[in-house]
Amino acid sequence: MEQRIELAVSTVIFALRPHPTTGRDTLWLPLVKRIREPFLGQWALPGGPLKPAEDLVTSARTTLRRTTGLEPSYLEQLYSFGGIDRSPDRVVSIVYWALVRPDEDARAIDGENVEWFVADEVPALAFDHNAIVTYALDRLRAKITYSDIAHAFTGEEFTIAQLREVHEAVRQVRLDPANFRRQALAHPRIVATGRHVTGTSHRPPALYRLETA
Amino acid sequence: MEQRIELAVSTVIFALRPHPTTGRDTLWLPLVKRIREPFLGQWALPGGPLKPAEDLVTSARTTLRRTTGLEPSYLEQLYSFGGIDRSPDRVVSIVYWALVRPDEDARAIDGENVEWFVADEVPALAFDHNAIVTYALDRLRAKITYSDIAHAFTGEEFTIAQLREVHEAVRQVRLDPANFRRQALAHPRIVATGRHVTGTSHRPPALYRLETA
């Protein structure tokens, strides 16, 4: 009899929150404590077996809602992992990633056995999930340099300083504010809204938005 | 009893060959005529069920060898397709794509029931394979504008004209030779080998290579 191959959908969910020691924004992700073998008691990426009536993104969306209460607008397929030794059973995991905006993250509600961790400081995870987290971080840090993916972390409207802070948090660098502003304003699809941040400042920063291509 | 979800690995294999009417290089891909239901007699992407002892890329490589005799150096995971209505049974297909260099393509041997088609002129395919081919073409045409993926179609050493012809064939455009040369030579990792094409020309074109990052 042929061995059965199981199919799971897992999710890597990134949000920017302050680092517990430095206080600077950094990438966090939620993990779920396993309540059964294998890897009982260890942390793992949220996910579960694909159900016959669910398509892939619906499965990812269901996991997201159950573990974090979130319905982030950025949810994409990341990669499928199918090494033969990644689990005691043969399991192929199709991994989605979600990028959560601050206004979305404000509505996060932790599910059972769920805890958020600094993405670069996760403990030893179940299965090959450390490798999956590393893959996701590498992909995000590469993609932010040649695409508009940073805007998945900004609101619809953002100041140039907010956009720079997203780049700094994701790439773990400090960027020169004047240089960054010059480059951002040269972007053909970053346009001024004509509005400004409301508040007490006597020179409130201008709000921009990203025009869709 | 729960319905079983089948797992398949399919491959989109692109090579540049002359168009049958225009003679200009264009993208071709091999298809396999189905010899069983569903979609008996229709063309489909090469692939098959994932075997328990094979990892994903091994499965893709085996299909490639069986259908085309090829072992191209560029073989990457493209995307996983898991819509619930894409097949009469529930099948999730993990799709790999291969980009074949001319020197590799010269060794192609068509397997049984295999035929090559112009990628933009494929007939109505089995399952959702037309959508998969479109996805692969869109991805390739986007990626060639911001990455070094064109070099998957050149040899290790190439002339600037050869590199331009790859871009023209993939993107289906004509590019100004002088502009293209200027841009290519400004690429920090395209470097002269010091060698030239050997032949009868009294001004043999210089050969370049792409330095690894």
Q: What is the ipTM of this complex?
A: 0.90
Kindly state whether B78 is in contact with chain A, defined as any CB-CB distance less than 8 angstroms: no
- The answer to whether B31 and B115 are in contact (CB under 8 A) is yes
Query: Is the pLDDT assigned to residue B213 strictly greater than 80?
Result: no
Q: If pLDDT is split at 50, 70 and 90, which confidence band does B4 have? A: confident
Cα dihedral: A120, A126, A128, A129 (round 10):
-40
**Average pLDDT, consecutive stretches of 10 residues, N- to C-terminus, chain A (213 residues):** 83 97 96 96 97 96 95 96 92 97 92 96 97 98 93 93 97 96 95 88 90 84
- pLDDT (0 to 100) of residue B1: 45
Kindly state whether A1 is in contact with chain B, defined as any CB-CB distance less than 8 angstroms: no
- The answer to whether B102 and B151 are in contact (CB under 8 A) is no
Region B87-105: mean pLDDT is 94
- pLDDT (0 to 100) of residue A162: 95
- The answer to whether A68 and A17 are in contact (CB under 8 A) is no
Strand partners, A79: A95
Report the distance separating Cα B12 and Cα B89, nearest Å.
Answer: 22
The pairing of strands A91-100 and A6-18 is parallel
A94/B80 touch (CB, cutoff 8 Å), yes or no: yes
3-state secondary structure chain A: CCCCCEEEEEEEEEEEEECCCCCCEEEEEEEEECCCCCCCCCEECCEEECCCCCCHHHHHHHHHHHHHCCCCCEEEEEEEECCCCCCCCCEEEEEEEEEECHHHHCCCCCCCCEEEEEHHHCCCCCCCHHHHHHHHHHHHHHHCCCCCHHHHCCCCEECHHHHHHHHHHHHCCCCCHHHHHHHHHHCCCEEEEEEECCCCCCCCCEEEEECCC
- pLDDT (0 to 100) of residue A1: 45
Q: If pLDDT is split at 50, 70 and 90, which confidence band does B99 have? A: very high
B55/A83 touch (CB, cutoff 8 Å), yes or no: yes
- The answer to whether B32 and B116 are in contact (CB under 8 A) is no
Ordered structural domains, chain A, with CATH = 6-143 (3.90.79.10), 150-210 (1.10.10.10)
In a mutagenesis test of the B interface, which of A80, A95, A97, A139 is the best target, namely the one with the most B β-carbons within 10 Å? A80
User: Inter-axis angle of helices B160-171 and B129-143, to 10 degrees?
Assistant: 140
All residues of chain A having their beta carbon less than 8 Å from the beta carbon of residue B83 are 55
The nearest CA of chain B is from the CA of A75 a distance in Å of 14
> How many Cβ contacts (< 8 angstroms) between chains A and B?
53
Encoded amino acid at B5, one letter: I
Query: Is the pLDDT assigned to residue B106 strictly greater than 70?
Result: yes
Q: Which of A213, A208, A204 is nearest to A191 (CA)?
A: A208
CA angle B6, B9, B10 (to 5 degrees): 125
Strand partners, A91: A6
The nearest CA of chain A is from the CA of B75 a distance in Å of 14
All residues of chain B having their beta carbon less than 8 Å from the beta carbon of residue A52 are 2-5, 84, 90
Region B156-173: mean pLDDT is 96
CA angle B80, B82, B88 (to 5 degrees): 135
All residues of chain B having their beta carbon less than 8 Å from the beta carbon of residue A79 are 77
- The answer to whether A68 and A108 are in contact (CB under 8 A) is yes
Kindly state whether B3 is in contact with chain A, defined as any CB-CB distance less than 8 angstroms: yes
Q: What is the pLDDT of residues B117-153, one digit of tens each?
A: 999 999 999 999 999 999 999 999 999 998 999 999 9
The nearest CA of chain B is from the CA of A204 a distance in Å of 36
Q: Which of A141, A154, A140, A139 is nearest to A184 (CA)?
A: A154
Burial of B38 (0-12, 13-18, 19+ CB in 10 A): exposed
